[in-house]
Structure 1
Amino acid sequence: MALYDLILGPFLEFGFMRRALMGCIALSISGAPIGVFLVLRRMSLMGDVMAHAILPGAAIGFLLSGFSLFAMTVGGVAAGLLVALGAGAIARTTPLREDASFAAFYLVSLGLGVMIVSIKGSNIDLLHVLFGNVLALDDPSIYLIGGIATVTLLSLALIYRLLVAECFDPGFLKSVGGAGGLAHFLFLALVVLNLVGGFNALGTLMVVGLIVLPAASARFWSESVPGQIVASAVIGIGSSLVGLLVSYHGELPTSPAIILAAGAVHALSILAGRHGSFASQALRARHLRG
């Protein structure tokens, strides 16, 4: 009975908990390969930049239509793609490096998005945009997240080899010309799509955590790219489950609870993961001394 009340009861008794879990599972499965490639390509911080880049577009959608899923999604996708293209173009045509260009867009986008939401909405609306409300996911939001997950997995299946090649041999992707550039742009578009899908659940400040934290943790549990993708998805789903339960029983904010659960797994991975953790390095050193 205690196990039912602690773990199963909330999901069996309340539809909003089931929808929240379904949305987080879809986000974890879709965000796992995105996060792994962001980490492998040393673009983890770019995920945070892009998460804030979608804010002005989503805010304009909110300004025009309120909390309209369609308007905020279209606005977020448009703003994210515009920032990705703009930052890349500036980096290619000026001495400014790509990371500095993205940082500039990040700061402007965050300030502009907060300003736009504040014009029409209240502090509660601003908190909803920044931190999301995963417990309020409705059926259209679930369909959107599921659709984005499907598109992401199918698209990554097409460009998987090119992305892996770029991670371990960047010169190769440059040598294949147009195919490499197309793969890079498609990957950035998938990053934007996943951030927009997650934005509806976790908000712009939290969504990147469910993409990057599990992927960073997965590096301590597997050395292969497929293994890291699977481990990242499992960690994301587990963190979502734990975060939802902690939020439900402790009456705590849901999005931060999910991200903190993922952070706890990351700390555990650093300490005791199979590859490169403190524990594995200590065991290896002891073995070499023996």
Structure 2
Amino acid sequence: MIDLLTAPFVEFSFMRRALAGCVALSVGAAPVGVFLTLRRMSLMSEAMSHAILPGAAVGFLWAGLSLPAMTLGGLVAGLAVALLSGFVARSTVLREDASLAAFYLISLAAGVLLISARGSSIDLLHILFGTVLALDDDALVLLGGIATVTLVGLAVAYRPLVMECVDPLFLRSVGRASGPVHYGFLALVVLNLVGGFAALGTLLAVGLMLLPAITARFWALDLTGLMPAAVILALIASVAGLLVSYYASLPTGPAIVLAAGTLYLASMLLGPRGGLVWRLLPARHLEA
């Protein structure tokens, strides 16, 4: 049994690289996902993951499948969409989710058209779904750097981020930290989506960010438990997805996200913090 779990990573360097990349993604993206869910911004991250596509497409047109060019383009596009949607929400009658949805659809269509203009269907699939088994040294350095910046950023802004989750109006009333914290957090979201794009593609980049964070709600009640639980669940999903893809010859990115989805479904049923099975059990005396 142990050999089945360890043999792919011992024998093949590409599996070790994929595991290292997934570990970096799990450590950086899962805590960001926890704050997204607490702030009711889960669907916003899905829109942002597609917003980086036109920037990555421009990088592809400029330098082919070059990780630095596509990463820089995706980062610029993601930040631009985040800032533009916020500006439109503050300057017009539209709410931020509506303006973000509009920019997301425009970005997705523009990115697909740009890639199709020069690349093949294989290039398009590579960008949309990623190639986690083909991570090289540059990609691992990028993912490790993003995870480091994310953890440092969350540590520095931890208290105002928590305050904004609990009572954003109070944070605005006691100081000027609300704006910088909000946009700094959006920058961390975009940064992790760009890192996820390098491994899982634009369509699945948000998978390791949101699913473990959502699942963690069935195992912990507060941030001190939610963030470690989300990271652990993301790591389990990564290892399980890599092993399933290896032994069943399945696409790796979808296998990792489906593994995270399986953990969510199992936790929804069996999780000790509000799982369906626990809710069906008769409550103890004076606990109904």
What TM-score, normalized to structure 1? 0.97
1:36-115 alignment, distance < 5 Å: 36-115=34-113
Q: Distance in 2 between matches of 1:289 and 1:78?
A: 52
Residues 157 and 289 of structure 1: CA distance in aligned 2, closer, same or farther (over 3 Å): closer
Q: What are structure 1's unaligned runs of at least 5 residues?
A: none
Amino acid at match of 1:48: E
Change beyond 3 A, Cα 1:138–1:276: same
Distance 2:258 2:24 in 1: 19
Distance 2:17 2:282 in 1: 44
In the TM superposition, what whole-angstrom CA distance separates every residue of 1:174-194 from its partner, at most 9, and x where no partner exists?
213421110000000000000
Mark the CA change 1:64 to 1:284 in structure 2 (over 3 Å): closer, same or farther. farther
Provide closer, same or farther for how the CA distance between residues 82 and 284 of structure 1 changes in structure 2, counting only shifts above 3 A. Answer: farther
Aligned to 1:270: 268
Structure 1 residues 57 and 289: alpha-carbon distance in aligned structure 2, compared to 1, 3 A threshold = closer
1:285 alignment partner, SS class: coil
Identity, in percent, stands at: 60
Shift of 1:167: 1.0
The superposition leaves residues 40-87 of structure 1 with CA deviations (integer Å, 9 ceiling, x where unpaired) of 000000110100000000110001000111111110110000000000
Distance (whole Å) between structure 2 residues aligned to residue 46 and residue 271 of structure 1: 26
Aligned position for 2:184:
186
Does the CA contact (< 8 Å) of 2:168 and 2:178 recur in 1?
A: no
Distance in 1 of aligned mates of 2:153 and 2:287: 48
SS at match of 1:88: helix
**What CA distance in whole angstroms lies between the structure 1 residues aligned with 2:17 and 2:216?**
26
For the residue of structure 2 that corresponds to 1:222, the secondary structure is: coil
SS of the aligned residue for 1:241 comes to helix
How many residue pairs match? The answer is: 288
Q: How many angstroms apart in 2 are the aligned matches of 1:173 and 1:76?
A: 31
Q: Counterparts of 2:96 and 2:143 in 1: how far apart (Å)?
A: 29
Match of 2:281 among 274, 280, 283: 283
Among candidates 146, 150, 153, match of residue 152 of structure 1: 150
The equivalent of 2:127 in structure 1 is: 129
Structure 2 stretches lacking a partner, 5+ long:
none
Partner of 1:199: 197
Distance across 2 between alignment mates of 1:50 and 1:95: 21
Shift of 1:168: 1.2
